[in-house]
């Protein structure tokens, strides 16, 4: 029992559970707790969750990635320009979009490791560079900054299939979460991630390839952000260079809600999953209440603050329990 309480995700789960309970009680008869309502907030959480997990691992290793926003948009535009303006087949363009994500991640990783500048600034710069390049190139090539996507049926099946109202993105989320969990909790690479974020110099002295850990995580983040761009693009039949801009801060937010420390070295994948689920519940549930939406960001902010406080309280309780 104590062991369970001490886990980083316990607080996040408690916060998620309380939030869900709150909305279940505040929205009677609107179908928020129905299968379709559940599919709704899960769809919302899944897309954010896919990118939040690598961002979380990166934050455990002590780094930030703010370039995810423009990477999502860039991937969707690569797919759009390729399948629309160049009539290219879908799958190779998906590969190219993911590759672009990997290259952006690699550039971030190398820049952070080589220059020793804070990743907060480096990736913020990348975020502007990528969205600028996406818009500039799209205008140059096709004179547009958003464009239709013509995806093949097999690609639609893989990235936009729906089971009832639940999107296949939820399965992708589960897959990314499972891989993230295996890596962080069950592999020596996972130990390296904790060590890098916990105390970088000590980790280096102990023989942990700190640079490689960071670069690999940046690449993984880029690829996952590109995957979200592909998912959104195919789902909405349209690429847009501004897709994903909201994730720049939403992803670190859900990671912190999930129990991660901003200083690095602490956290778990399950915690990030609960943090993301909580965010999905709040940002879709609030509309089921029928409250005046002028106040929505006020509610959102208050609920987030409450959720993090509850999370913190449970964690402290857990860590002091003997």
DSSP secondary structure code for residue 115 in this structure:
H
199: helix, strand or coil? coil
The residue among 249 and 313 lying less far from another protein, judged by its C-beta, is 249
Residue that has been written with the tokens 């991640």 in this structure: 105
Beta strands 162-163 and 146-148: pairing type? unpaired
Q: Taking the complex as a whole, how short is the minimal distance between the CB of residue 96 and another protein, in angstroms?
A: 20
The residue among 28 and 207 lying less far from another protein, judged by its C-beta, is 28
The site for another protein (CB under 8 A) is made up of 27, 30-32, 36-37, 40-41, 43-44, 47, 85, 128, 131-132, 135, 139, 142-148, 165, 232, 235-238, 240-246, 249-250, 283-290, 293-294, 296-297, 300
Q: Taking the complex as a whole, how short is the minimal distance between the CB of residue 270 and another protein, in angstroms?
A: 23
Q: Taking the complex as a whole, how short is the minimal distance between the CB of residue 5 and another protein, in angstroms?
A: 33
Element (H, E) at 162: strand 162-163
The residue among 30 and 152 lying less far from another protein, judged by its C-beta, is 30
For the purposes of burial, counting CB atoms within 10 Å of the CB of 58, is it exposed (0-12), middle (13-18) or buried (19 or more)?
Answer: buried
Q: Taking the complex as a whole, how short is the minimal distance between the CB of residue 277 and another protein, in angstroms?
A: 13
Q: Taking the complex as a whole, how short is the minimal distance between the CB of residue 308 and another protein, in angstroms?
A: 17
The residue among 102 and 124 lying less far from another protein, judged by its C-beta, is 124
The residue among 196, 212, 182, 177 whose CA lies nearest residue 106 is: 212
The residue among 145 and 191 lying less far from another protein, judged by its C-beta, is 145
Residue 238 β-bridge partners: 148
Task: For residues 257 and 269, give the distance between their C-alpha atoms in angstroms, rounded to a whole number.
Answer: 12
Token readout for 209 is 């390839």
Q: Taking the complex as a whole, how short is the minimal distance between the CB of residue 128 and another protein, in angstroms?
A: 7
The residue among 248 and 318 lying less far from another protein, judged by its C-beta, is 248
Q: Where are the alpha helices (DSSP H) in 61-187?
A: 68-80, 90-115, 119-142, 153-160, 169-186
């Amino acid at each position: 029992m104590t062991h369970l309480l001490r886990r980083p995700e316990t607080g996040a789960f408690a916060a998620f559970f309380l939030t869900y309970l709150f909305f279940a009680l505040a929205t009677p008869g609107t179908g928020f707790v129905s299968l379709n309502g559940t599919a709704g907030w899960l769809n919302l959480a899944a897309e954010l969750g896919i990118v939040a997990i690598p961002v979380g691992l990166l934050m455990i290793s002590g780094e930030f990635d703010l370039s995810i926003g423009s990477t999502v948009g860039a991937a969707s535009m690569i797919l759009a320009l390729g399948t629309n303006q160049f009539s290219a087949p879908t799958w190779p363009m998906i590969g190219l979009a993911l590759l672009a994500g990997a290259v952006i991640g690699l550039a971030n990783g190398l820049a952070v490791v080589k220059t020793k500048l804070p990743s907060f600034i480096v990736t913020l710069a990348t975020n502007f560079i990528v969205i600028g390049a996406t818009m500039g190139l799209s205008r140059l090539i096709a004179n547009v900054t958003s464009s239709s996507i013509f995806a093949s049926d097999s690609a639609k099946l893989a990235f936009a299939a729906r089971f009832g109202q639940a999107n296949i993105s939820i399965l992708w989320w589960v897959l990314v979460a499972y891989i993230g969990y295996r890596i962080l909790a069950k592999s020596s690479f996972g130990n390296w991630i904790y060590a890098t974020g916990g105390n970088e110099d000590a980790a280096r002295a102990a023989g942990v390839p700190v640079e490689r850990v960071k670069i690999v995580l940046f690449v993984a983040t880029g690829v996952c952000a590109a995957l979200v761009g592909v998912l959104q693009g195919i789902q909405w039949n349209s690429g847009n260079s501004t897709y994903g801009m909201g994730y720049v801060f939403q992803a670190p937010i859900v990671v912190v809600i999930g129990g991660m420390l901003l200083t690095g070295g602490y956290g778990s994948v399950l915690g990030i999953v609960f943090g993301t689920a909580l965010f999905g519940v709040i940002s879709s549930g609030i509309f089921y209440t029928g409250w005046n939406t002028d106040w929505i960001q006020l509610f959102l902010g208050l609920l987030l603050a409450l959720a993090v406080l509850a999370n913190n309280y449970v964690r402290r309780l857990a860590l002091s329990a003997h």
